[in-house]
Amino acid sequence: MAATDAAGREHDVRPWGTYTVLEDAEAEGFKVKRITVQPGHRLSYQRHAQRAEHWFVVAGTATVTLDDVVQEVPAGQAIDIAVGTAHRVENRSDEPLLFVEVQQGGYLGEDDIVRLDDDYGRAPSA
């Protein structure tokens, strides 16, 4: 369950790192998060039915998988994830990976995540 940081923003610690919600404007169709992925960790391979995402890498290099195609996204570059696209971000370096995620769609809740694969046992069994 997400908590709040000192500024009152939604903040959560996950097995792979942390996220902080910088702007939650679901009524306007967007949300902005600051996401940190710890070295050697990755998020679940997932898709969303109701939102697209735009990731701008601030520090480090993101190893991004989109529909089973892997690519490197270094600091200063961005990548777009369309609604329904299977995606994952991984940090293969020794330093934290930091990126800003902009979500856009009619529904932006954390329960719009379908996990296809997960290192932390959160994906449904096959």
Asked whether residue 122 is assigned to any structural domain, the reply reads: no
Nearest to 60 by CA among 87, 42, 81, 48: 42
**How high is the pLDDT of residue 126?**
52
- Token pair for 2: 């997400």
pLDDT for residue 4: 85
Q: Identify whether 2 is part of a domain.
A: no
pLDDT at 33: 97
pLDDT tens digit string along 24-47?
999 999 999 999 999 999 999 999
The number of angstroms, rounded, from the C-alpha of 43 to the middle of its chain's C-alpha atoms is 7
pLDDT tens digit string along 2-20?
788 888 888 999 999 999 9
Give yes or no for residue 55 having a pLDDT over 70. yes
Residue 1 has pLDDT above 70, yes or no: no
Domain assignment of residue 19, given as a range = 9-117
Residue 60 covered by a domain: yes
86 falls within a domain: yes
pLDDT tens-digit series, residues 101-123: 999 999 999 899 999 999 998 87
The CATH number of the domain holding residue 13 is 2.60.120.10
**Amino acid identity for residue 80 in this structure:** D
Does residue 75 lie within any of the structural domains?
Answer: yes
Give the count of domains, the chain. 1
Say whether pLDDT at 124 is over 90.
no
In a domain, 106, yes or no: yes
Rounded CA separation 126/108 (Å) = 26
Whether residue 126 lies inside any domain: the answer is no
Predicted local distance difference test score (pLDDT) of residue 35: 98
State the amino acid at position 30 in one-letter form.
Answer: F
Does a structural domain hold residue 1? no
